[in-house]
Structure 1
Amino acid sequence: MVESRLTGPVRVVGVGLLGTSIALGLRARGVDVILSDASPTNVSIAVDYGAGRGATDGDEPQLVVVCVPPDVTASVIVRELSAYPRAVVTDVASVKKPILDAVIAAGGDVTRYVGSHPLAGREKGGPMSGRADLFLGRPWVVAGHAGISYQTAAAVDDLILDLGATLVEMTAEEHDSSVALVSHAPQVISTLMARRLAGAPDAAVNLAGQGLRDVTRIAASDPALWVQILGANATPTAEVLRGVRDDLDEVIQALDASSFGSTSPSAEALPSSTWRRTMVEMLAGGNTGVARIPGKHGQDRRYASIVVMVDDTPGELARLLTEMGEIGVNLEDLRLEHSPGAQIGLAEIAVLPEAVERLTAALADRGWRIAG
């Protein structure tokens, strides 16, 4: 067991996905974790899951981590600061400035509070979705402020490092504008694209491939939670979406007026070079932007991948993974693509770059078809 930087008990308030994942990660380092939630059932599930123990009257936590919905985060922070006057308090809400302002307005002791936000998650919530490794290598923002004490900053830094995350320091304002760009606006865009599918013909939806799945994956997120998040970070998110709207208007205008045939009665056909230039600029700009994202499709760039064709029969995927183990290559990540009715699926296997050539040759020798 790896020794923890944190020395005292850690109280986790809210045992959904993030709270349970934090608790599991700390328990893996031997930290005494105290679990609290408005739902006794959630606490029982998290305790059974090995995430910690239930709260008792004599608890004296070193650190309190508030993992509750954004609309109640500030009030819970103030309550925990009052209940545990010797503890440092942080939270993991996805907006920071409104919460800090509310804590100050309520008279909370901000010398013992600093907001934070791990940029990690899954589409599904609840304690059973928790993973001890959820934060490994992921950015975790600490939104410092003028009144914070050294002890407060150190305790939250230790939490982040204990969970294997990468500490990023920002102001609350910088954080909120950043997540509007990389998280909140993308959620809206994904949702709106998925909404187009709701009334689409089955014949069209059945043609969907991995591209559409990638674009709409996060559209499966909890609407109630996202209403709170978007409401709390409305202005920065709306600013990003206005920029997207401007780009969409330009693309639509170019398509409507393309020399291949206008779709708008009022549009005048543009010379081929004009509308093509617009489209090339937009598409190339997307190439430039996506190249800045750490890791292809969110994967770590330290990994390389191969695509293996897998027959749609029981046990074939399990056989592939078993044979990878026999070859002696560790699976770092796995992505599956399979369309309804197809006789094969595609397994995109991420491994260390130095293992790609050996794995490709060994799988081919065993009869596997390598697609790329």
Structure 2
Amino acid sequence: MRTALVIGTGLIGTSAALALAARGVAVHLVDHDPGQARTAAALGAGTDEAPEGRVDLVIVAVPPAHVAATLAEAIRSDAGRAYIDVASVKGGPRRELEALGCDLTAYIGTHPMSGKERSGPLAATADLFEGRPWVLTPTRDTDTEVLNLALELVALCRAVPVVMDADAHDRAVALVSHTPQLVSSMVAARLEEADETAVRLCGQGIRDVTRIAASDPRMWIEILSANPGPVADVLAGIAADLDETVRALRSLESSDEQKRRGGAAGVEDVLRRGNAGRERVPGKHGAAPTAYEVVAVLISDQPGELARIFADAGRAGVNVEDVRIEHATGQQAGLVQLMVEPAAAPGLTASLRERGWAIRQ
């Protein structure tokens, strides 16, 4: 791949353009807002000048509702040798293209499973896709050269290719991406009218659950409008669980011992099923999840403190597998939770104590 045209310079389009430009591909940028394309070009994602002739790959990075029309226009104008889109739904756009009578041998639908709460070119980074799954949905009609160019794009972005059927992909993202967004927003919405004393008690749990609730509603309306059925199916299952859990909790209020036992069993059931589901989430590098030991260290909110604790962990010969920071409300301090292999935890704890760190159990 020597040339590419990116249509749509938001977070995903600009990030892909940055990755390609950094690896020597001549990238041309187009957006319905010329100012946004100029911003992406200024960031080093390519040029906002039109290409001279056909490019090797056209990447359509527009909202799902506009994918088919944008692709159809690009295909009819013979803009490139191959065409892909990066929308978060795949079945609908392909059916729309078929209805428009487009020749789809040069097209393949794709979806990089990566993103941020922020949108736009200023949020883009060349490493956004590194190590992340990038779904490809070829069909029997897809030309081999087109599939190879799509695979080259994934490789240049240092992502991991995953081949799926388009409709199976849409059902999968309804479960692992679209529904979590709605559930996160629903939980966060409870905070809008909450008493200030309750909000002051917010800890890491509520921060984890509501992190993605900060996402742009306009973007998510477009995504959810393109995949409403599968998302509604997942939410219906969650609603059934909620109904059962509400009944179980009401039973725990009863003065009847048998009802209380039944309520406790109902709550325990959903919690245990949650444990089982969580264990299926891939761990580090996509491998089976590992039960790490947590070494919690009190840390002051001062420049260089994080660097110092990581350096001290390195001096102890311990690899930190993951990290979480829990901020203390109203204080210039917090807890850094270092996730390490269980066998390494005692040695790391002792070493950090020797270096003056306050360890919390």
Q: Note whether the superposition's TM-score is higher than 0.5.
A: yes
How far residue 321 of structure 1 moved from its aligned partner, in angstroms, is: 5.1
Runs of 5+ in structure 2 lacking a partner?
none
Distance 1:272 1:186, change over 3 A: same
Partner of 2:176: 182
CA contact (8 A) 2:113 2:132 kept: yes
Q: Confirm whether residue 367 of structure 1 aligns to residue 361 of structure 2.
A: no
Seen in structure 2, the aligned counterparts of structure 1 residues 20 and 300 have a Cα distance that, compared at 3 Å, is farther
* Greater shift in the superposed pair: 98-107 or 50-59: 50-59
- Please state how far the C-alpha of 1:162 moved relative to its aligned partner: 2.1
Root-mean-square deviation (CA), in Å?
2.8
For 1:208 and 1:164, locate their aligned partners in 2 and report how far apart those are by CA, in whole Å.
Answer: 37
> Are the counterparts in 2 of residues 47 and 54 from structure 1 also a CA contact under 8 Å?
yes
> Hey, what does 2:336 align to over in structure 1?
347
What secondary structure does 2:125 align onto?
coil
- Cα distance in 1, alignment partners of residues 184 and 204 from structure 2: 14
Q: 1:143 pairs with 137, 161, 167, which one?
A: 137
- Report the counterpart of residue 42 of structure 2 in structure 1: 48
Within the candidate set 9, 13, 22, 2:16 is matched to: 22
Query: Which residue in the other structure is 2:83 paired with?
Result: 89
Partner residue of 1:58? 52
Partner of 2:95 in structure 1?
A: 101
Q: Does 1:281 align with 2:269?
A: yes
Instruction: Give the match for residue 228 of structure 2.
Output: 234
Question: Matched residues in 2 for 1:92 and 1:233: separation?
Answer: 15
Q: CA deviation at 1:366?
A: 2.2
Aligned partner of 1:261 in structure 2 is 254
Cα distance change on mapping 1:50 and 1:334 into 2, 3 Å? farther
Please give the TM-score of this superposition, normalised by the length of structure 1.
Answer: 0.87
- 309, 327, 334: which one pairs with 2:298? 309
CA distance in 2: counterparts of 1:353 and 1:132, whole angstroms = 34
Cα distance in 2 for residues equivalent to 1:161 and 1:96: 21
For residues 97 and 342 of structure 1, the distance between their equivalents in structure 2, rounded to whole angstroms, comes to 50
* 1:66-109 deviation per Cα after TM superposition (whole angstroms, max 9, x unaligned): 11111111111111112235421111111111100111111222
Identity %: 42
Q: How far is the alpha carbon of 1:147 from its aligned partner?
A: 1.9
Residue identity opposite 1:83 in structure 2: S
| Counterpart AA for 1:369 | A
Query: C-alpha separation between the residues in 2 aligned to 1:351 and 1:16?
Result: 37
Residue 150 of structure 2 aligns with which residue? 156
Counterpart CA distance in 2 for 1:21 and 1:334 is 25
1:224-254 CA-partner distances (Å, limit 9, x unpaired): 1111111110011000000000000000011
Gap regions ≥5 residues in structure 1: 1-6, 263-267
2-structure distance, mates of 1:307, 1:35:
46
Are 1:338 and 2:327 counterparts?
yes
Q: Please say if residues 302 and 353 of structure 1, whose CA atoms lie closer than 8 Å, have aligned partners that are also in contact.
A: no
Superposed displacement of residue 12, structure 1: 1.3
Letter in 1 for 2:254: G
Q: Amino acid of the residue matched to residue 347 of structure 1?
A: V
Give the TM-score taking structure 2 as reference length.
0.89
Q: How many residues in Structure 1 have an aligned counterpart in Structure 2?
A: 359
Quote the residue 1:4 is aligned against.
Answer: none
Q: How does 1:124-143 map to 2 (within 5 A)?
A: 124-143=118-137
What whole-Å deviation, never above 9, does each CA across 1:343-366 have from its counterpart, x for those lacking one?
521223467899867755543332
What residue is the counterpart of 2:282 in the other structure?
294
- Report matched runs for 1:144-223 at 5 Å: 144-223=138-217
Residue 257 of structure 1 contacts residue 270 of structure 1 at CA under 8 Å; is this kept in 2? no
Q: Provide the secondary structure at the position in 2 that maps to 1:89.
A: strand
Does residue 271 (structure 1) correspond to residue 238 (structure 2)? The answer is no
Deviation of 1:332 after TM superposition, in Å, equals 6.8
Q: SS state of the match for residue 55, structure 2?
A: coil
CA displacement, residues 25-72 of structure 1 (integer Å, 9 cap, x when unaligned): 222322222222222222222222222222324143101111111111
CA distance in 2, matches of 1:17, 1:301: 29
Provide Cα deviations, 1:247-305, integer angstroms capped at 9, x if missing partner. 000000111122x437xxxxx87533311211111100000001111127x99958966
Q: In structure 1, what is the Cα distance between the partners aligned to 2:156 and 2:344?
A: 30
Counterpart CA distance in 2 for 1:46 and 1:97 is 29
Question: Quick one: distance in 2 between partners of 1:16 and 1:137?
Answer: 21
Secondary structure class of the residue paired with 1:190: helix
Bigger mean CA deviation after superposition, 329-338 or 270-279: 329-338
